[in-house]
Amino acid sequence: MSVLVNKNSKVIVQGFTGGEGTFHATQMIEYGTNVVGGVTPGKGGQSHLDKPVFNTVKEAVDKAGADTSIIFVPPAFAADAIMEAADAGIKVIICITEGIPVADMVKVKEYIKSKACRLIGPNCPGVITAGEAKVGIMPGFIFKKGRVGIVSKSGTLTYEAADQVVKQGYGISTAIGIGGDPIIGTTTKEAVELLMNDDETDAIVMIGEIGGNLEAEAARWVKADGNRKPVVGFIAGQTAPAGRTMGHAGAIVGGADDTAEAKMKILAENGIFVVESPAKIGAKVAEILG
């Protein structure tokens, strides 16, 4: 069992023939991801990267059996792309696009509630099940197959954590980059829950940052769930001045309880193994699993 994507996922790329779509689709295919085609309105019937191009997501579902989509569409059109994928019956929608207006995401979040799909992102690095499928923009060579899951708001810290875990002699089951925007499809808690229920994941690395309550919500759920698997936690933004907005739109500090220190305290109180530096993530995982 894997989380969200695996070697059998039938992936399409929305924005397939654009520069970003082409670049990352090429890398995904080279990794071994089962990319069955892409969508670029007006270019249906053409071939790109030796894969078929469709005019609509519905066409890609009907003709190629697509069940997973990754979106490289400009911000102004990304909300429509997500809703189109949900309408067409795509089960896992991964939106890489950053800069989508918050008002658009409010509509999207409400719209997909009634759809049988899961949205990852936007403004995220994607999802990778090591050795099986890379549906995102992460450097695939870092992710060696193993039994440690990663949930992260930060793309670069996802890669850093994976690299450290691998260098300690362990590997990655699935890494989920949830995105750093104020409104995202899948929360930290929901992603942790997926990995907690995955038979092929023995431990979880949870990387958060100042702003919002997603990490605290996840930590409380982990404790209520009985701390079934060890979770290593790190919160970025410990040195940020009070009230500072970080690079991610979601990292807006909301008060005394919304500092990195306060979040780390909540995590520790709920049985999370908190590290104070990202450089210690791998060693902590090895200590727990060793």
Classify 69 as helix, strand or coil: strand
- Evaluate the omega torsion of the peptide bond into residue 122 and state whether it is cis, within 30 degrees of 0: yes
Calculate mean pLDDT across residues 43-48: 98
> Is 138-289 the same fold as 11-120?
yes
pLDDT digits (tens, 9 = 90+) for 130-144: 999 999 999 999 999
Domain ranges of the chain: 11-120, 138-289
Catalytic center residues:
248
Select from 141, 2, 14 the least CA-distant residue to 66.
Answer: 14
Is residue 247 very low, low, confident or very high in pLDDT (cuts 50, 70, 90)?
low
Radius of gyration of the chain (CA): 18
Question: Which CATH code, of 3.90.930.12, 3.40.190.10, 3.30.420.40, 3.40.50.720, is assigned to 11-120?
Answer: 3.40.50.720
d(C-alpha 38, C-alpha 21), whole Å: 9
Exposure of 42 by Cβ count < 10 A (0-12 exposed, 13-18 middle, 19+ buried)? exposed
pLDDT above 70 coverage of the chain, percent:
93
What class does CATH assign to 138-289?
Answer: alpha beta
Q: Residue 211: what pLDDT? A: 84
Q: Which residues pair with 14 in a beta bridge?
A: 39, 71
